[in-house]
Structure 1
Amino acid sequence: MSQLPKNRPFPRVQTLFSLALLSLLAACASRPEATGASSAPAVARELSIFSINDFHGHIQPKSPTPLMPRLPDAQTGEIKPQAAGGVAYLASAMQKLRAGRENSVFVAAGDLIGASPQLSSLLRDEPTLSAIGELDLVASALGNHELDSGLPELLRKARGECPSEGCAWPGFKGPGFPYLAANLLDANTGKPLLATHVIKEVGGVKVAFVGAITRDTPSVVVPRSIQGLRFADEANTLNALIPQLRAQGAQLLVAVMHEGATHQGAANDPSYACPGLQGRGVDIAKRLDPAYALIISGHTHQAYTCKINGRLLVQAGSYGGWVTESRLKLDASNQVISAEAVNHPVLQSAYAPNPAFVALVQRAADLTAAVRNKPVAQLSQGAVRGAKAPFGDSTMGNLIADSQLAYAKKRGQADLALMNPGGIRADLVVEADRPVTMSDLFAIQPFANELVVMTLSGAQLRELLQRQLPKGDAPPRFLQVSSSLRYRWQIGPEGVAQLQDVKIDGQPLDDAKTYRLVVNNFMADGGDGHSVLRQGRDRVSLGVDIDAMAEWLTDNPAAVKQIQPGRIQQLP
């Protein structure tokens, strides 16, 4: 497949949504106060830096649809979910967005692969890397999911090499862009294991893109995949590189990091104030040296355009459903005099899919059809990940936990199951004219985690549940629970969340008793900070999580309709 033309000059087509935002942002962009016509610095050049993050192998346009953002309908103005993403649409969007942007560049903030739908994952994510490489991407920060199969496997793909049995994607030659991670260090030598940065000339300006991976990677990746690796503080590492970057001639510094913030507001904030923005990305932005003109973030799957202490902090959501454009106006000495940003939605209704990428996706579909299309069950109702107050459990989380408990009970004794919400990557969408397939289930649980049964005391289980309750203003992320476990919680008089009324199979939790608990191997190793689970004893490994869900749905197709939230409830 030939590479996309760079900055091809043809009529620029954008959604009305993006055009309106650009006009508004231009009016709101930060610039020095002018006391006279000649006091404002002259704009010598303008750079457009496009970025994506957390693509996660979503090359397909549907089944599952990568993203469904709620946006105004182009015809009626009605706010409603609209299909977005798919690499063929992303390719067309990038062509059109970069048309007329003479001084533009395209980068990514990590997790381009890993936790991918079967269309990509069954082929070791090689089709995704091949496709993204055709989009004129110059570099990507390393994400934690790029390490799911270990650093050697990532390096193999990055170099375009094939394992002894051959590449899964015929003709695979690698992505053609480097992964950057200044803070990924050899645990023994302390030296970086990947490139720390690249310097690219954009519009006559030497721009350094400096990459960082979240230092919290050990809490979100299985230990065997990151043995021998150390993850240093992002801000400290990037700040220490500044003298080296300047010595190499870099005139503009851009941080590209796989860490971010959480944001409850719209994907675009013309004021850049972003009230309520929080998370590690904000802390890093506050500590990062002012020499960095722009911070491109990822990891949290949020779309936002914000400013922290006057500097842009941006993120493009996930799955290729958004593209961030950060526009920097520079004076003759390459100082930023104006910075604005907009998240462009990659709506399937706004772009014609690029034929070359349509063919690539179809080729991947043909190679994986036998596995993906295996039917599981005909369902009349689906399930969703979102929980609604006062409940902390979702129908999708309940379904997964119930399936894992049933799977374990068939193979021995078990009392309850817990599921980490971060491992639930999609809703269960039901279509009347076709059965649910293995591909649908893999989109929900793409990690192929092994199920582990372990013994915990009632006291340990109580500690586990208490520790995962929300703290301060942080949004709650409850472990999802099987039907055998129910509890309530409330905020106490001192503002501390307290566990209440924990019951297993209708009986109060007994601290002195032991219970058999089912979790996936990621959680069993203490993933997501659940260190109590490392204390579990008498461990027995079962099968793979997706097989448990498939077996349960096949055996109980009508049971999905019976699943309701209410197992976790907040008291007033």
Structure 2
Amino acid sequence: MKKPSSDSRFLGLQGLAETSGRTPSHRVAVMLAVLAVLQGCATPQTKEPELAAPAVRELSIFSINDFHGHIQAKSPTPLMPRLPDAQTGEIKPQPAGGVAHLASAMGKLRAGREHSVFVAAGDLIGASPLLSSLLKDEPTLAAIGELGLVASALGNHELDAGLRELQRKAQGECPAEGCAWPGFKGPGFPYLAANLLDAQTGKAMLPSHVIKEVGGFKVAFVGAVTRDTPLVVVPKSIVGLRFADEADTLNALVPKLRAEGAQVLVAVMHEGATHTGGAIDPSYSCPTLQGRGVDIAKRLDPAYAIIISGHTHQAYTCKINGRLLVQAGSYGGWVTESRLSLDAQGKVLSAEAVNHPVLQSVYAPNPAFVALVQRAAELTAAVRNKPVAMLERGAQRNSQAPFGDSPLGNLVADSQLAYAKKRGPADLALMNPGGIRADLTVEPGRSVTMSDLFAIQPFANELVAMTISGAQLRELLQKQLPKGDAPARLLQVSSSLRYQWSQSADGVSQLGDVTVGGLPLDDARNYRLVVNNFMAEGGDGQSVLRQGKERVSIGVDIDAMVEWLSENPAAANQIQSGRIVRR
């Protein structure tokens, strides 16, 4: 017997049709007669309108940030996902990332989502390992483009070599001598930065947004770079550019986006927050979340459905005033999935997010991307694999409380001071912690190579020796102390410099005793200081260093480290934290 319809309005007709008469023609005639009677009896007052169920559709927005050219799979680092070990259950960093594993992860994750899109929040390139940087990051852009990325916010490190060089690569143009990556045609996706302006005309220098149809909706992805870019990029790379406030710029675009038919607005910005909680907060409350990303989220127009962030290399899924603010760590170790349920007009009914760890043990490497990485390795092998020194131990870049210096920070500063002393008088060296990008890792029986050292200092900054007064040095050290509950990111110091600092209950930091070469700092005396050119030009807010006199460029930072370790293979054994002490 045919199964009756679940709609009661049709049960009587179907039953009557199935029991009346002995032939199909009889059943049809009966049905037509009954329908005619019902139609004749119906009145406008008694007819019930059929109400269509609201159309709810889900969109998945996958995102990454701060990839920094890490196309090669890496061993675990403190920045990788910290998860229980499969054997011991111990919480520790797991092997994750690498573009071949990322490709597999994206394929599997998107296969389960009918309507999905993939975007990035900047710094896909720049500060990259030699495998990518020696080839001008072209293999990274080619690989990310193959993953189906539709757009990326501009990151500050995308401007390391200047806007024109970024535009060349983004457009797939090759210089006269040819592209570094054979067959490079560009990434196939645009960089977005609504708040990157010509300093004189105020004209936008890059597209502000793209609108893509996803799941039947017109979704606008609107990009912004951190307004603090001048503090973290060498000034010569951003001459003639102005960086406007992120929230103000994105808010002003809302009418234009609506006029272009955008139903769903997504903010993708290279600015974020700091977070001491887990990568996934089921409550989305994230009580430890703080920083500029939070301030921007609070000021951003409610028209934006979600905020995808970057820059701070953190992994979090949080909500600010009920709206998602997410970030996917760094180096391809995580992928964020933000899932929106929308009504027919594109209004967000609910929003959820999860950070998926790109574990190498879970996602087998995609063969096509393995081949791409191997090709890059072959093209750069001669430089990368050059041995430097056989070391007994490595050095960590994280400071060790209660100290403000780290073993690796000390090692880098010592190398620069020793390098400078061979080329002229020098009293001390300072190193910005943000310029130290990886730990110095040592494997038994293997020499540390150029690749290992370049991972630590990937910018090839010039070292600058300058003269500053004791009073200026005191001012510099005082200004870099943390304010309030902000995390301490203190300048790393050579062995010739020692100082103490303290912080009161109301969050005011104060410099204490300072010695140079074992003697108390003399405000009236001149000292010969060594820093990289980024700091020398006022980077990281070190404006005092612009006052330095008698400037001399003495070489490249990576050369200083190579020379120091080659001549002192026991240097890492001798480095101890404690040059900076919080009282």
TM-score, length of structure 2 as denominator length: 0.90
Match for 1:530: what amino acid? Q
Choose from 180, 184, 189 the match for 1:172: 184
Q: Cα distance, 1:338 vs. partner?
A: 0.6
Match for 1:297: what amino acid? S
Which residue is 1:111 aligned to?
A: 123
The percent of aligned pairs where both chains have the same amino acid is 82
| Counterpart contact for 1:451–1:521, Cα < 8 Å | yes
CA distance in 2, matches of 1:68, 1:250: 36
Match for 2:485: what amino acid? D
**1:313-370 Cα distance to aligned partner (Å, 9 max, x none):** 0000000000000000112222111101000110111110000000000000000000
Could you list the structure 1 runs, at least 4 aligned residues long, displaced by more than 4 angstroms after superposition. Answer: 63-67
- Report whether the alignment pairs 1:536 with 2:544: no
Stretches of structure 2 that go unaligned for 5 or more consecutive residues are: 1-52
Choose from 63, 72, 80 the match for 2:84: 72
- Report whether the alignment pairs 1:319 with 2:331: yes
| Counterpart contact for 1:302–1:316, Cα < 8 Å | yes
Q: Cα distance, 1:568 vs. partner?
A: 0.3
Q: Cα distance, 1:187 vs. partner?
A: 1.1
CA distance in 1, matches of 2:86, 2:307: 31
Match for 1:507: what amino acid? L
Match for 1:129: what amino acid? L
**Which SS does the other structure have where 1:499 is aligned?**
strand
- Report whether the alignment pairs 1:567 with 2:579: yes
After superposition, the Cα gap between the structure-2 partners of 1:495 and 1:68, relative to the gap in structure 1 and judged at 3 Å, is closer
- Counterparts of 1:176-187 in structure 2 under 5 Å? 176-187=188-199
Which residue is 2:564 aligned to?
A: 552
- Counterparts of 1:132-281 in structure 2 under 5 Å? 132-281=144-293
- Report whether the alignment pairs 1:373 with 2:392: no
**Which SS does the other structure have where 2:109 is aligned?**
helix
| Counterpart contact for 2:75–2:96, Cα < 8 Å | no
Choose from 448, 458, 467 the match for 2:460: 448
CA distance in 1, matches of 2:78, 2:209: 30
Match for 2:187: what amino acid? P
Choose from 67, 76, 85 the match for 1:55: 67
Stretches of structure 1 that go unaligned for 5 or more consecutive residues are: 1-40
Q: Cα distance, 1:528 vs. partner?
A: 0.5
Moved more, 143-152 or 74-83: 74-83
Structure with the greater alpha carbon radius of gyration: 2
| Counterpart contact for 1:66–1:320, Cα < 8 Å | no
- Counterparts of 1:414-453 in structure 2 under 5 Å? 414-453=426-465
Which residue is 1:384 aligned to?
A: 396
CA distance in 2, matches of 1:394, 1:43: 56
CA distance in 1, matches of 2:63, 2:78: 17
**Which SS does the other structure have where 1:293 is aligned?**
strand
When the two chains are superposed, the root-mean-square deviation of aligned CA atoms in Å is: 1.2
- Report whether the alignment pairs 1:478 with 2:478: no
CA distance in 2, matches of 1:497, 1:284: 26
CA distance in 1, matches of 2:377, 2:552: 36
Choose from 504, 520, 527 the match for 1:508: 520
Moved more, 61-70 or 82-91: 61-70
Q: Cα distance, 1:505 vs. partner?
A: 1.1
How many residue pairs end up in the alignment?
Answer: 531
**1:258-298 Cα distance to aligned partner (Å, 9 max, x none):** 00000111111111111121111111000000000000000
Which residue is 2:42 aligned to?
A: none
- Report whether the alignment pairs 1:469 with 2:481: yes
Match for 2:211: what amino acid? I
Choose from 340, 343, 360 the match for 1:331: 343
CA distance in 2, matches of 1:203, 1:555: 61
| Counterpart contact for 2:78–2:93, Cα < 8 Å | no
Q: Cα distance, 1:64 vs. partner?
A: 8.5
Choose from 333, 349, 357 the match for 2:361: 349
Which residue is 2:321 aligned to?
A: 309
CA distance in 2, matches of 1:99, 1:290: 31
Which residue is 1:298 aligned to?
A: 310
Q: Cα distance, 1:494 vs. partner?
A: 5.0
- Report whether the alignment pairs 1:284 with 2:296: yes
**Which SS does the other structure have where 1:489 is aligned?**
strand
| Counterpart contact for 1:328–1:339, Cα < 8 Å | yes
CA distance in 2, matches of 1:156, 1:399: 37
**Which SS does the other structure have where 2:340 is aligned?**
strand
**1:105-135 Cα distance to aligned partner (Å, 9 max, x none):** 0000000000000000000000000000000
CA distance in 2, matches of 1:64, 1:413: 41
| Counterpart contact for 2:499–2:514, Cα < 8 Å | yes
**1:32-87 Cα distance to aligned partner (Å, 9 max, x none):** xxxxxxxxx95610000000000000000137979532202345533222111000
TM-score, length of structure 1 as denominator length: 0.91
| Counterpart contact for 1:377–1:557, Cα < 8 Å | yes
CA distance in 2, matches of 1:55, 1:188: 32
Which residue is 1:8 aligned to?
A: none
| Counterpart contact for 1:60–1:66, Cα < 8 Å | no
After superposition, the Cα gap between the structure-2 partners of 1:291 and 1:507, relative to the gap in structure 1 and judged at 3 Å, is same
Q: Cα distance, 1:493 vs. partner?
A: 6.0
After superposition, the Cα gap between the structure-2 partners of 1:79 and 1:485, relative to the gap in structure 1 and judged at 3 Å, is same
Which residue is 1:22 aligned to?
A: none
Choose from 411, 414, 422 the match for 1:402: 414
Choose from 130, 133, 137 the match for 1:121: 133
**Which SS does the other structure have where 1:464 is aligned?**
helix
| Counterpart contact for 2:76–2:93, Cα < 8 Å | no
Q: Cα distance, 1:392 vs. partner?
A: 0.3
Q: Cα distance, 1:433 vs. partner?
A: 2.5
Which residue is 1:85 aligned to?
A: 97
- Report whether the alignment pairs 1:459 with 2:471: yes
Which residue is 1:498 aligned to?
A: 510
**1:126-154 Cα distance to aligned partner (Å, 9 max, x none):** 00000000000000000000000000100
| Counterpart contact for 1:64–1:443, Cα < 8 Å | no
Q: Cα distance, 1:185 vs. partner?
A: 0.6
| Counterpart contact for 1:67–1:83, Cα < 8 Å | no
CA distance in 2, matches of 1:406, 1:192: 45
CA distance in 2, matches of 1:214, 1:540: 31
**RCO higher in 1 or 2 (8 Å CA, sep ≥ 6)?**
1
CA distance in 1, matches of 2:129, 2:193: 25
Choose from 336, 340, 344 the match for 2:352: 340
| Counterpart contact for 1:140–1:177, Cα < 8 Å | yes
| Counterpart contact for 1:66–1:85, Cα < 8 Å | no
Q: Cα distance, 1:492 vs. partner?
A: 3.4
**1:368-395 Cα distance to aligned partner (Å, 9 max, x none):** 0000001000001000011121100000
After superposition, the Cα gap between the structure-2 partners of 1:494 and 1:355, relative to the gap in structure 1 and judged at 3 Å, is closer
Which residue is 2:47 aligned to?
A: none
Q: Cα distance, 1:495 vs. partner?
A: 3.6
